[in-house]
Amino acid sequence: MNPALATVAALTMRFGASGPPALDALTAEIPAGMVTGLIGPDGAGKTTCIRLLAGLLHPTRGTLTVLGRDPVTQADAIHARIGYMPQKFGLYEDLSVIENLRLYAAVRNLPDADRAATFARLLGFTGLAPFTTRLAGRLSGGMKQKLGLACAMIRRPELLLLDEPSVGVDPISRRELWRMVRALADDGIGVLWSTSYLDEAEACDHVLLLAAGHLLFDGAPGALTSRVDGRVFQVRGIAGNRRAVLRRALGQKGILDGVIQGRHVRLVAAKDAPPIDLEALKAGPEAALVAVPPRFEDAFLDILGGGPGGVSALARQMEPKTPRRTAVVEARNLTKRFGAFTAARDISFAIRQGEIFGLLGPNGAGKSTTFKMMCGLLKPSAGQALVDGLALGKSPGAARARIGYMSQKFSLYGTLSCRQNLEFFSGIYGLAGARRKAAIEGMIDIFALGPHLAASADTLPLGFKQRLALACAVMHEPAVLFLDEPTSGVDPITRREFWTHINGMVERGVTIMITTHFMDEAEYCDRIALVYRGAVIAIGSPDALKDEARTPETPDPSLEEAFIALVARSDREEPPGAAA
C-alpha cells in the first residue's frame, strides 16, 4: 500500500457522557494516491471520523496524525494542506460559481498569479465553465457537488476529505464525480470518500467499513467480497410471483439474505449451509439456480450475520384489499408550470392494483413534481391525477383518505414523542375508539417501538424514525402508499426489513408508488417510469428498460447503466436547449 497521509490509533469519540461512543477505538491509515472509501450506514461514525481528521472536533481518546501533524494542536497547518467538502458541499448559494471560487481562492491563500490558470483548470475539469455567472443555489445537485469539489481543490490539497458527496445526487452525476476523483487519486492525492451507498465501495481502492462506531473491515473491497465467493445465486426463470418466491426463500434455513433483482431473485447462502432447496421455493418448472459473482453488499450482510426474515407482520394483520379491475392510480396528461418553466409536461401512466411503480430520474428532472401532483401536494397546471377512481382536484378529502404518504424527511413531528406521533396520525386519518387503540398497539408491536415510545421523534435513531414514519403512513390501511425516497441514508438491514413490509402489503393488494436513487431498490419495482427534463422518456419493467438499453458494447447492462444510456439517448434525440 502507498505511504500513509493520515493515521489514527485507538481513536474514540464520545458526545455526552452516556450512550455508546460515535467512534470506538478506530485504528486505520489513509494512503496517498488512492481512493479510500469510508463506508457504512447512517450513524456509523463516518462524519465524526472526517471532522476529527479535519481538526474540527477533538477526540475523547486516541491519537491522530494528519500530514505529519496533530489536528488538535496544529489545525491551521493542516487546513492549509487539505481539501474538505462537508455535506451540503459548503457553498454560498447566493454567490455565483466564479464568486465562490474567488472566495475560496482568497481564504486559501492562492497566489493571485496562479488564479486565472487554476480557475480555468478547475472549471474545465468540472465542466462548469459555461455556468460561471450562475448562482450556486440555482445549480442542480450534481453541479453543486462538482463546484464544492472545485472549491475544496483550489490549492491542490495533499489529502481530500469528502463527506457523503453523492447523497441526493443522481447516477449520472455520481459517475462524473467518480471519474474526477479517480483522476485526482492517480495524480497522487489521497482521497477519503464517505458514503452509505455500498455499491460505491466496489469502486474504491481501499475500504474502511464502519458500523455503529466499530471498524468491521479494513482492506481492498475485493478481499471482503471474496468472503461470499460461491455463496451467491440468482433464481432465474421464475414463473408466478417473485415476491412470494423471495418470502419462501428467506424462510429457508441457511439463506442469509435475499433481494429482488428485476425478474430474478438474488440469494446469499450462509457458510457451510446445505444446498438451496429450489423445489421448496415453488418458482415454477423453468426455474434455475445460477451462481453469480458476489457484490460488496452481499459480503456486508454476511459480516453482519444476515438480513431479517421475509415475513411481514404488518402485512399479515392487514385486511386484504378488494380486487379492482381498473387502474388504482392514474396520471392523465399531467403538466406543471412554474412561471415560464415547465417542470412536468404531459405525463400519463396508469398503475394497477398491487403493483410497485417507481419514478426514477436525475435531480431536477421533474420526478418530485410529478410525485407531488399524484399525492395531491401540488396542483397540476393541466391534466388530472386520480386515486382509486377519485380525482384529487375534485374530491381531495375522499381521495386522500385512501392514501398513505411517507417522505424522505419522514414527515414526523420531531418534538412529539413516538407515541404522540402515532396518536396524532391515527387521529388525522379518522381512526377513533377501539379501532384507533388497536391500530396504535399493533404498530408498536410490529415495529418494536416499545422501548422508544416516550422518546421524541427527533432523537430516535434513523432506522426507528423510518419505522415510525412507515407506521404512521399505514395505520389507516390505505389503498395506495406513496413513498418519496423512503430509505435515504438508512442501513441495508433496515432497508431489507422495510422492503419485506412493502412486499407483504403488495401481496395484500396495496398499490405502491415510490421514488428512489438506489438502483437496487428500483429492481423491486414491477414497472418504472424514467422521468427526464419534465417528461417520461421510458416506461416498463426493470428488465424491459435494460433490454431497451442493450447494445453490442454492453450486452448485459445493469439498471444504472440502462438509466444512463436512456438519458443519453434522450439527449441525442432532443439536444438540451439553453434553458435546461
List residues near other proteins by CB under 8 A: 15, 51, 54-58, 75-76, 79-80, 82, 84-95, 99, 102-104, 106-109, 135, 151-152
Cβ 88 to other proteins shortest distance, Å = 4
Convert 493-514 to b/e letters by CB count within 10 Å (16 or more is b). Answer: bbbbbbbbbbbbbbbbbbbbbb
Whole-angstrom Cα distance, residue 479 to residue 508? Answer: 10
Tell me phi and psi for residue 360, to 5 degrees.
-120, 155
Q: How far is the CB of 102 from other proteins (least distance, A)?
A: 7
CB 455, min distance to other proteins, A: 22
How many Å separate Cα 189 from the centre of its chain? 27
Considering the complex, what minimum distance in angstroms separates the CB of residue 491 from other proteins? Answer: 23
Non-local (6+) Cβ contacts of 382 within 8 A are: 333, 334, 335
CB 511 within 8 A of CB 353: yes
Nearer CB in complex with other proteins: 30/440: 30
What are phi and psi for residue 267, nearest 5 degrees?
-130, 145
First-to-final CA distance of the chain: 44
**CB of 50 vs other proteins, minimal distance in Å:** 10
Cα-to-chain-centroid distance, residue 313:
25
Q: Distance (Å, rounded) from C-alpha 273 to C-alpha 101?
A: 57
Nearest approach, Cβ of 163 to other proteins (angstroms)? 9
| Minimum gap (Å) between residue 538 Cβ and other proteins | 35
- Per-residue CA distances from 2 to 190, 337, 343, 413 (Å): 10, 53, 48, 48
Nearest-Å Rg of the Cα atoms of the chain is: 25
- Concatenating the DSSP letter of every residue in 233-247 gives EEEES--S-HHHHHH
DSSP notation for 349-415: EEE-TT-EEEEE--TTSSHHHHHHHHTTSS--SEEEEEETTEETTT-HHHHHHTEEEEETTTT--TT
Cβ nearer to other proteins, comparing 96 with 335: 96
- Cβ closest to other proteins, residue 108 vs residue 227: 108
Question: What is the rounded CA–CA span in Å between residue 377 and residue 407?
Answer: 12
Which one, 135 or 455, has the nearer CB to other proteins? 135
**Side chain identity at residue 432, one-letter code:** A
Minimum distance from CB of 80 to other proteins (Å)? 5
Q: Which is closer to other proteins, CB of 64 or CB of 269?
A: 64
Residue closer to other proteins (CB basis): 84 or 357? 84
Nearer to other proteins by C-beta: 151 or 522?
151
Which residue, 54 or 331, is less far from other proteins as judged by CB?
54
Q: State in angstroms the smallest separation of the CB of 166 from other proteins.
A: 16
- Is the CB of 94 or the CB of 441 nearer to other proteins? 94
Helix-strand-coil split of the chain, %, nearest 5: 35, 25, 40
Cβ atoms of 9 and 164 within 8 Å: the answer is no
Q: How far apart are CA 560 and CA 285, in angstroms?
A: 31
CA triple 377-378-379, angle to 5 deg: 130
Query: At its nearest, how many Å lie between other proteins and the CB of residue 364?
Result: 19
Decide whether 101 or 344 has the Cβ nearer to other proteins.
Answer: 101
**CB of 151: closest distance to other proteins in angstroms?**
7
Which CB atom, from 106 or from 428, has the smaller least distance to other proteins?
A: 106
**How open is the CA angle 149-152-154, to the nearest 5 degrees?**
110
- C-beta of 62 vs 396, nearer to other proteins: 62
Q: How far is the CB of 13 from other proteins (least distance, A)?
A: 9
Q: Which residues is 290 bridged to in the sheet?
A: 234
